[in-house]
């Protein structure tokens, strides 16, 4: 059992919320240390570990393509 194992996840479609989107989720285990010492006021902290989501399918309910689903999920900060 590897620590970097892929997880198969199913997300609800962001458009119709009925369809199931098949995704692969790879947890961002590696901590990338970048120079974040300079404080950037009002810029929001991006301190989430870098998870990787791979959208594998479009919506089987409303027919949105996987590119559209992925864009929407990213916009909604789901992935
Ligand atoms: Zn849908």
Residue-level pLDDT, tens digit, the chain, 79 residues: 455 678 999 999 999 999 999 999 988 765 555 555 555 555 555 555 678 999 999 999 999 999 999 999 999 999 9
Please report the pLDDT score of residue 1 as a whole number. Answer: 47
Please tell me the predicted confidence (pLDDT) of residue 13: 97
CA of 58 to the centre of ligand 1 (A): 8
Q: How close is the Cα of 65 to the center of ligand 1, in Å?
A: 9
Which long-range contacts link 47-54 to residues 24+ away (Cβ below 8 Å)? 51/25, 51/26, 51/27, 51/79, 52/25, 52/26, 52/28, 53/9, 53/23, 53/24, 53/25, 53/26, 53/79, 54/23, 54/24, 54/25, 54/26
Whole-structure pTM over 0.75, yes or no?
Answer: no
Ligand 1: distance of its center to the CA of 44 in Å? 30
- Rounded to the nearest angstrom, the distance between the alpha carbon of 12 and the centre of ligand 1 is 8
């Amino acid at each position: 059992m590897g620590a970097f194992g892929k997880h198969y996840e199913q997300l609800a479609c962001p458009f119709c919320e009925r369809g199931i989107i098949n995704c692969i989720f790879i947890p961002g285990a590696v901590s990338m240390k970048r120079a974040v010492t300079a404080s950037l006021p009002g810029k929001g902290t991006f301190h989430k570990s870098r998870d990787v989501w791979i959208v594998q399918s479009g919506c089987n309910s409303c027919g949105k393509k996987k590119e559209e689903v992925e864009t929407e999920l990213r916009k909604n900060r789901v992935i």
